Amino acid sequence: MTSSSTARPEVSGGLDATDLRQRLVDLATTSGVKRWDLGAGCSTDTSVQVDRGEPKQMKGAQRSAITVRVWNDQGLVGVTSTSDLSDSGLERALAGARDASAFGNPEDTPAFSPLATAPLAPLEQPLHQPVGILDLLATLKEAERDLLGRHPAIGTVPYNGLSQRSSDRLYLNSEGACRQQRLTTASLYLYARAEETGRKPRSAGAVRLAYGAGSLDIAGCIEEAAARTIAHLDYAPIDTGRYTCVFTPEAFLDLIGAFSSMFNARAVLDGVSLSTRESLGAPVAVPFLSIHDNGLNPGNIGASTFDGEGTPTRRLALVEAGTLRNFLHSEATARAFGVSPTGHAGLGAKVSVGPDWFEIGPAEGAEGGATGLDHGVGDGDPRGLVLIDSLSALHAGVKASQGSFSLPFDGWLIRGGEHRSIEAATVAGDIRQVLQGIVGFEGEAKITPSGLCPHVWVEGLSITGEG
């Protein structure tokens, strides 16, 4: 689908940005409000969960989240939230935001994005009709049955879900911005639990995303969940020490995401980032690493063509050849830095800033370690290599403003050409040392729900065995 700032798209539920904007113009004029904007997200969701062949949960919901901002004659901003898009609901929202503007913070005054009416990049996002909830249930029950039959030790699939969503996003303002995007998405997750007599339970899972439930790679999700779970059955403790570690794409993207405040201009201004204003142009990683934020990548299911302030989404270089090049910006942070907004704002009482979808890999034209790494690296160490499959407790084990982390993980010890699951262990370090300790990449970059990344090799990480 191609979003447009001028077109009048056909959208589910009768939601029409052009009509809504005209109603807001009329209501604002009547209320004496001269400067306003509105951000909205409306969705219809259907989801199912099962437990050993029986329905565990079946849900359907319609959700609306609307934020209205009003600027008064002194330039102060008032914000209100509503879920009522009727004329009376919008009138109350405008009045509430107008009254709240008297208490606005003069030290934090957002403005309209100068790019809120700029052209949007086209995105191919096919729209799918929703599937009946009983069909979703039947599909998930069959997937669970298939996964349970993959190995005698797999006794349950305790976490599972199949869901679909039809959504509309809008951004409107009093200076002519009229953004609208319609999207349909679906997701499947299967997380199996296996247990053998006298052994600890082992778990692993897989996720698939698509634009419609009928397009989900269900067979691939089952296969991946089964293979990962079975691979963890034969486990053993690991000795505490320093190891060369290989991060799967999912694990490395999770780690970078946990420290995304180092690229976040809002965090920089608030003093809660590893970076400062002076960090731009400084080396932060090995010279063959590049990190981009690209919400428009075709692999990003559910990509948005514009952010909460109406700024177009675009590809942004964060780290190029190991050097920090850009921060993620909203309108307010971009104004503070004297640059253009980057399309990473979220609309709210305080405008937030956050990444969309990372692309991580070798820098263009880089030499040394920038392509597939020889498996011989690390073979001279009798302790072997550690393959980190997934990280846990990211909310508790990461100190983003300090750079340190200590995280439980699932993975394998690779020694003498053999893989053996690690019983329980924690990986600890500093993200700055990780970025400087990368020794190469392996394999083709893999598309995941949070970004694009190959396997990443990092030397000298501290592993604490807990077996």
Whether pLDDT at 385 is above 80:
yes
pLDDT at residue 14 in the model: 52
Where do we find the tokens 């639990």? 193
Where do we find the tokens 């800033």? 353
- Tell me the Cα Rg of the chain: 24
Whether pLDDT at 47 is above 80:
yes
The secondary element (H helix, E strand) that includes residue 94 is: helix 87-100
Average pLDDT of the residues in 52-73: 95
pLDDT at residue 214 in the model: 95
pLDDT at residue 4 in the model: 36
Average pLDDT of the residues in 393-402: 94
pLDDT at residue 417 in the model: 81
Q: Are the C-beta atoms of 361 and 454 separated by less than 8 Å?
A: yes
Distance CA 315, CA 342 (A): 9
Q: Are the C-beta atoms of 441 and 456 separated by less than 8 Å?
A: yes
pLDDT band at 373 (very low <50, low <70, confident <90, very high): very low
Tens digit of each residue's pLDDT (9 = 90 or more) over 201-260: 999 999 999 999 999 999 999 999 999 999 999 999 999 999 999 999 999 999 999 999
Tens digit of each residue's pLDDT (9 = 90 or more) over 9-23: 333 445 789 999 999
Where do we find the tokens 């960090």? 279
pLDDT at residue 9 in the model: 33
pLDDT at residue 348 in the model: 77
Three-state SS at 13: helix
What are all long-range contacts of 294-298, with beta carbons under 8 Å and residues at least 24 apart?
A: 294/356, 294/357, 294/358, 294/359, 295/343, 295/356, 295/357, 296/121, 296/123, 297/357, 297/359, 297/452, 298/124
> Which residues, in sequence order, are CB contacts of 205 under 8 Å at separation 6+?
159, 189, 190, 191, 192, 225, 228, 229
Average pLDDT, the chain: 92
Distance CA 304, CA 409 (A): 31
Average pLDDT of the residues in 369-377: 46
The secondary element (H helix, E strand) that includes residue 225 is: helix 218-231
Q: Are the C-beta atoms of 36 and 68 separated by less than 8 Å?
A: yes
> Which residues, in sequence order, are CB contacts of 34 under 8 Å at separation 6+?
28, 71, 73, 174
H runs (alpha helix) in 259-385 = 265-270, 331-337
Q: Which residues pair with 204 in a beta bridge?
A: 192
Average pLDDT of the residues in 270-288: 96
pLDDT at residue 366 in the model: 65
Q: What percent of the chain has pLDDT over 70?
A: 93
Tens digit of each residue's pLDDT (9 = 90 or more) over 285-321: 999 999 999 999 999 999 999 999 999 999 999 999 9
H runs (alpha helix) in 302-410 = 331-337, 394-397
Tens digit of each residue's pLDDT (9 = 90 or more) over 323-352: 999 999 999 999 999 999 999 999 977 899
Tens digit of each residue's pLDDT (9 = 90 or more) over 129-152: 999 999 999 999 999 999 999 999
Question: Pairing mode, if any, of strands 451-465 and 358-362?
Answer: parallel
Three-state SS at 104: coil
Higher pLDDT, 377 or 149: 149
Q: Please, is 61 exposed, middle or buried when counting C-beta atoms within 10 Å of its C-beta (0-12, 13-18, 19+)?
A: exposed
pLDDT at residue 11 in the model: 35
pLDDT at residue 3 in the model: 38
Domain ranges of the chain: 12-228, 234-255+368-465, 283-360
pLDDT at residue 72 in the model: 95
Q: Are the C-beta atoms of 27 and 90 separated by less than 8 Å?
A: yes
> Which residues, in sequence order, are CB contacts of 168 under 8 Å at separation 6+?
11, 12, 13, 15, 40, 41, 42, 43, 180, 181, 182, 183
Distances (CA, A) of 187 to 49, 208, 213, 253, 270: 12, 6, 7, 19, 35
Q: What is the DSSP string of 391-429?
A: E--HHHHEETTTTEEEEEEEEEEEETTEEEEESSEEEEE
Encoded tokens for 313? 């989404």
Whether pLDDT at 365 is above 80:
no
Fold type of domain 12-228: PmbA/TldD fold (3.30.2290)
Average pLDDT of the residues in 81-100: 94
pLDDT at residue 7 in the model: 33
Encoded tokens for 98? 């107008």
Distance CA 108, CA 211 (A): 38
Q: Are the C-beta atoms of 372 and 440 separated by less than 8 Å?
A: yes
Where do we find the tokens 């997937």? 143
Average pLDDT of the residues in 56-71: 95
pTM beyond 0.85: the answer is yes
Distance CA 391, CA 397 (A): 10
pLDDT band at 8 (very low <50, low <70, confident <90, very high): very low
pLDDT band at 394 (very low <50, low <70, confident <90, very high): very high
pLDDT band at 371 (very low <50, low <70, confident <90, very high): very low
Tens digit of each residue's pLDDT (9 = 90 or more) over 398-422: 999 999 999 999 999 999 888 999 9
Encoded tokens for 405? 């982390």
pLDDT at residue 268 in the model: 97
pLDDT at residue 305 in the model: 96
| φ/ψ (deg, to 5) at 206 | -155, 160
